[in-house]
Amino acid sequence: METRELRYFVAVAEELNFGRAAERLGIAQPPLSRAIAQLEHRLGVALLIRTSRKVSLTGAGEVLLAEGRAILGAVAAAERRTRAAAADRPSLVVAAKAGSSGEVLAKLLDAYAVEPGAVPVDVLLCESNTHVPLLDGRADVALLHEPYDPTTGLDVEVLSTEGQVAVVQAAHPLAGRSQLRVADVSDLPDLARWPRRDGTYPDGSGVEVRNLTQLFQLIELGRAVAVLPEVVRTGLAEGLVAIPVVDAPQVTTVIAWPPHSRSRALADLVRVATGFS
């Protein structure tokens, strides 16, 4: 199985339309049809069900779609890491969610910078899906928050564990309470929608929210309520109040990196990160 075939199949499986997939791939539709047919023939497995109006995935197709995405990510990562290894100036790229882990990150970078043998560190700020750059090689290490970010397939060290707080408008009826339970906030109308792990938004009404700044603005306008890790208390705006949610699941901040990493700089950074907690 060649990566070309995988690229083609993933494109078709995602578009569920040969024409659009071909366009996305920058080739014509007939060669794409043929390539998929050949792939199916060689595997001896039907991957797609074509009615002449609609394309859908078989069970085997869904498996290959998931595996294929992972492989294509790994190939992209291999290219990036190979080039990075050839660059004479070694460096590290840290992926972090913009806003949420700012302080942890700053402390980490400061502590690492004074290490003997420290290399330059670049920071890649993500709106969400912080794990993705790790999988395709754009980053060497990432700060993630369990259980929100997926960590399957990554090596992980726990940095800290904290509770969660509900963030509400100062004028909100709940604002005076000293603590809450999940039940208190779960039945409030959900006026904001977060992107899912695949980047799409759940159906329903409400504004599509992409980062914390947007969310805080909505809360300040009384258009949303959010349950977030405790750290958000630092630097909370005037019109917002944070109330502990005592029975919300604990959030753990972890430092994650791809398996099989053998870089000295990465090992140092992880050691520094786990050193102070």
Partner DNA sequence: CGGCAGCGATACCCGGCCGGTATGGATACC
Partner DNA sequence: GGTATCCATACCGGCCGGGTATCGCTGCCG
Angle between helical axes of 3-15 and 59-86 (0-180°, round to 10): 130
Among 11, 13, 36, 224, binds DNA (CB under 7 A): 36
Q: Which of 55, 166 has the CB closer to DNA?
A: 55
Residue 41 within binding range of DNA, rule CB under 7 A: no
From the list 245, 233, 240, the residue with the least C-alpha distance to 171 is: 240
**CB 69 to a copy of itself: min, Å:** 9
- Are β-strands 121-126 and 92-97 bridged in parallel, bridged antiparallel, or unpaired? parallel
Residue 18 within binding range of DNA, rule CB under 7 A: yes
Sign of dihedral through CA atoms 242, 246, 247, 252?
positive
What are the distances in angstroms from CA 103 to CA 25, 107, 186, 231? 41, 6, 29, 9
Among 1, 171, 221, 267, binds a copy of itself (CB under 8 A): 1
Print the binding letters for residues 135-154 with a copy of itself: x by CB under 8 A, - otherwise: -----------------xxx
Print the binding letters for residues 53-92 with DNA: x by CB under 7 A, - otherwise: x-x-------------------------------------
Query: E strands within 109-209?
Result: 121-126, 141-146, 155-162, 164-169, 192-193, 207-208
Using CB under 8 A, list all residues that contact a copy of itself.
1-4, 6, 43-47, 58-60, 62-64, 66-68, 70-71, 74-75, 77-79, 81-86, 152-155, 258-260, 262
